Amino acid sequence: MNGLILADASADNIDFMIHGLFSYNLFGHELWITTSHVCILIVMLVLIGFAIVANRKLKHAKEVPEGLQNVVELMVEKLQGMVGNTMGKHAPKFSNWIFTIFAFILISNISGLFGLRPPTADYGTTLALALITFVLIWFNTFKHNSLKEIWVDKCSPLPPWLPIWLPINLIGDIAVPISLSLRLFANVLSGTVMMALVYGLLAKIAYVWPAALHVYFDLFAGGIQTYVFCMLTMTYISNAIGDDD
């Protein structure tokens, strides 16, 4: 297990790579189940389990919240405030998506505290999240803007009859999912690599004090990157909607 799901913490074999667990054939192609798939499944099971417990708790909610009910209500209130302040009247349409990616990315980022290789240290995971955001951006762009408005926007700051800036603006749009995914991936992977080096090269003295590094790389940096990804997602979607009433 330590050689597959967790990073190998030996000085002779410092390992923070993704490993294949087993393969299977699908329509003549060999596909692999990797450590990233297993860690994503674990994160999903944790979130589903928490959602089930929280749902049952809220069905029997008390007038004065306490315990888990208090935690859940506080989380929802803070997230609703974040989405509402950023997206305004459009917040209710996207709250569920923002809540979902916030919870998934946060738990994935801090999963290193529990011996897992963070799923967000796999570019395949972060790119998938960024591509969903990219689809939402363009879906709302065409939904809330006419073709003429889109053309004028893509030609700006020059007049629409002089589309010199069109290629540059399109490149900027295409770069959105790349920048979103790489930012999250690189920050989480760097923390994973650093902790693997600490435990691999300094294994004999790596007692207690690495906890401070975990607080920074997993909790602090993980929380910041979760917030940044969600805020950029909301900002891009809000800009795509524009001033639509």
Q: Where are the domains of the chain?
A: 8-241
Q: Is 142 helix (H, G, I), strand (E, B) or coil?
A: helix
Counted residue by residue, the chain has a size of: 245
pLDDT of residue 212: 77
Amino acid symbol at 168: I
Answer yes or no: are the C-beta atoms of 170 and 99 closer than 8 Å. no
Q: Strand runs (DSSP E) across the chain, as ranges?
A: 8-10, 13-15, 20-26, 29-34
Between CA 233 and CA 228 the distance in angstroms is 8
Determine how β-strand 20-26 pairs with β-strand 29-34. antiparallel
Weakly modelled stretches of the chain, pLDDT under 50: 1-4, 6-11
pTM for the model:
0.84
Query: Does the bond joining 157 to the residue before it have cis omega, within 30 degrees of 0?
Result: yes
